[in-house]
Amino acid sequence: MTNTFNLIPEPVSVTAQTGSFKITDSTPLIFGDDCQKAGAFAATVLNLKQDDASDNPAIALNLVDGDIPAEGYTLTVAPNGVTVEANDEGGLFHGIQTLRQLLPAGQVAERTADAKIPAVTIDDYPKFKWRAMHLDVCRHFFDVTFVKKYIDLLAFHKMNIFHWHLTEDQGWRMPIDAYPKLAEVSAWRESTPLPENRHEQDGKPYGGIYTKDEIREVVAYADSLGITVLPEIELPGHTIAVLAAYPELGCVGEGYKVRTEWGIEDDVFCAGNDQVFEFLEKVFDEVLDLFPSEYIHIGGDECPKVRWESCDKCQARIKAEGLENEEALQSWFISKVGNYLASKGRKIIGWDEILEGGLPAGAAVASWRGIEGGVEAASLGHKVVMSPVTHCYFDYYQSPDRENEPPAFWWPIPEEQRVPGGPEFWGLIPLERTYTFDPHDGVPEGFQNMVMGGQSNLWTEYVPTTSQAEYQTYPRGSAISEALWSPMPAKGGRDFDAFVGRLAHHLKRLEALGVNYRHPKEHLS
C-alpha cells in the first residue's frame, strides 16, 4: 500500500520520495501578487515571512497556466525546496492544507518549531466541486468565534462552501435595516425544549442575532481561506419568527409568536399578499449586499399548505395566476423569488420540496429526504447537491448506544417495523455510513454530470453548545470530506478500514486544533 502520510481527504496521487525538507523560522516563503490570500494563509499557519531575496531553500506558491484541474494542485516536497502549483488560488489553498497535514500533528494549528516534512510529490484535485457543510444557528445560536473555527475546519478538510442557515421558526439571526423588528422580536423565543426530552420546556428566554459587521467579518474570513459562504433565508415555510414581528405577512394576520417547539409549523408566509414579496425583495437586497455567493439558498422545505387552503388572498392568487393547486402556488412563490434573484445575477438553490408543483426554472436542488428528489431534478436538467438523511445528517446519533451519547435527534422505530439486529430508532448515522456516501449513488450515468456534489447538515435542535456541535461534526466531517474530494478506488467502493487507519493519526491533528471530536471507539482503541 502506498504511504499516503495519513492525509485526509486522501489525495489523487501520492509518490513518496527520499529525504525531507526542514522548515525553520528563516525558510523563505515565496508568492506573487496574484495569490496574496493563499500566501497570507501559508505565512500564518507555517509561521513564515514572505521573502524572495534569500538563498535558503524556500517554500514557493505558484499560480501557473497548466492543465491542473479546478481547485487542484501539485505539491512537490524535496530536500532543496517545496513548491505548490495550481491554476487557481483555491488549488493553492488545498495544497497548503496538505502541506500542513505533513507537519507533525502537534504543529498543525501553527508551526512552532523547526519541522521536517517528508519528501513527496502529490497530484491532487477534487472529485466534486460542491463540498459544503451546513450549520443551523437558529435552533441554537453560535457566535462568530465559533463560526470562524467551524470554517477553519472546513478549509482544513478541503471543503469549499459554508452553508449558513440564518432564519427559522425558532429564531432569525441576520439584522435587516428595512425591518428592525426582525432583530427586536424574531431573534428571540420565550423558551426551548429540553435536549433530553423534547416534550418539556426549559422556560428560559433564548436568542441572539449577528451584527452586519460580524456577518461581513465571517464572509471576509471565509474568503481568506478560500471558502464561499452560502446564506440560507427560508421561505415560504419556517417563517413564523418573521410573522411574530410582522403579522400582516401571514395568512391569519395575528396571534403569532417565535416558535418554542421543534418540528414543522403550519403558519407560513401568505402567498397572496404582495407585501410578502416586497419584504423578501428588501431582505434579499441586504443579503446580496453582504454575501457575494453565486448561489443563494431559499430553503423551501417543509411548507404546510393548510393556511393557504383557507386563505382568501392565497386562493385569489391561485385563481389570478391560473394555478392548479397549493403545490403550484408554492412553485409560483419560489419562481417569483428566484426571478428576482436572477435579475440580480444570482442563482437559487432549495431543498427538494421545491420540486412540488414544478421546479422553478434554473433552480438547483439540495436533495435531503433521500436521493429521489436529486435524481428527478437532475433528469429535468437541474443542478443537484446530494445531502440525504441516510448519510449526511450530523444531528443524528453516531452510535446505537444512545444511553452513553449526548442527546441527539432520534425517533423510535415501531416494534412491527424493526428488523432483527437492526436499529431501534431512526436518527443513526455511524461514521462508516457517512464515509460510504457517494453523491453519484443511484443517479443514472447520463445525469451524473448534473450532480455538483454533496454536503453535511448540522441542525441544532439537540446541539446547545459549541463543544456538542464539534462532537456531532467530527470525525464524520473528516469522512464526508473524503467522500466528496477523493476519487473512488478503481475496484469500486471505499476502503473504510484504510480510512480509519489514517484517521487514527488525523485525530491527533484535530486534537491540536482543539476540536471536541467523538472518539470512534468502535473502530479505534
Q: Which residues bind Zn ion (CB under 5 A)?
A: 251, 270, 272, 311, 313-314
Residue 351 contact partner, candidates Zn ion, ligand ACM, none, CB within 5 to 8 A by sort of partner:
ligand ACM
Residue 383 Cβ, how far from ligand ACM at the closest point, in Å?
17
CB 252, min distance to Zn ion, A? 8
Q: Which is nearer to Zn ion, 154 or 271 (CB)?
A: 271
**373 binds, options ligand ACM, Zn ion, none, Cβ within 5 to 8 A by partner type:** none
Q: How far is the CB of 299 from ligand ACM (least distance, A)?
A: 8
Q: State yes or no: residue 441 binds ligand ACM (CB under 6 A).
A: no
Helix (H, G, I), strand (E, B) or coil at 206: strand
Note every long-range contact of 193-200, with CB atoms under 8 Å and residues 24 or more positions apart, other chains counting.
193/260, 193/261, 193/262, 193/461, 195/406, 195/407, 195/462, 195/464, 196/407, 198/261, 198/262, 198/461
Angle at 170 between CA 413 and CA 282, to 5 degrees: 130
Query: Binding mask 326-365 vs ligand ACM (x if CB under 6 A, - otherwise)?
Result: -------------------------x--------------
Residue 301 is a binding residue for ligand ACM (CB under 6 A): yes
Choose among 95, 120, 88: nearest CA to 45. Answer: 95
Tell me the residue number closest to ligand ACM, measured at CB.
301
- Shortest Å, Cβ 473 to ligand ACM: 16
36, three cell numbers: 496574496
Question: Alpha-carbon distance 9 to 315, whole Å?
Answer: 51
Q: Which does 314 bind (CB under 5 to 8 A by kind): ligand ACM, Zn ion, none?
A: Zn ion
164 touches ligand ACM (CB under 6 A): no
Report how far residue 525's alpha carbon sits from residue 522's, in angstroms, rounded to the nearest whole number.
8
Least distance (Å) from Zn ion to the CB of residue 318? 10
Q: Give SS3 for 207.
A: strand
Strands (E) across 374-515 are located at 384-386, 411-412, 425-426, 451-458
Pick the closer one to Zn ion by CB: 179 or 333: 333
How many C-beta atoms lie closer than 10 Å to residue 169's C-beta?
A: 29
In the list Zn ion, ligand ACM, none, the entry touching 301 (Cβ below 5 to 8 angstroms by class) is ligand ACM
What is the per-residue DSSP string for 244-305?
A: HH-GGGBSS-S------SSS--S--B-TT-HHHHHHHHHHHHHHHHH---SEEEEE--S---
CB of 165 to ligand ACM, least distance (A): 9
**Which does residue 272 bind out of Zn ion, ligand ACM, none, counting CB within 5 to 8 angstroms by kind?**
Zn ion
Binding site for ligand ACM (CB under 6 A): 301-302, 351, 368
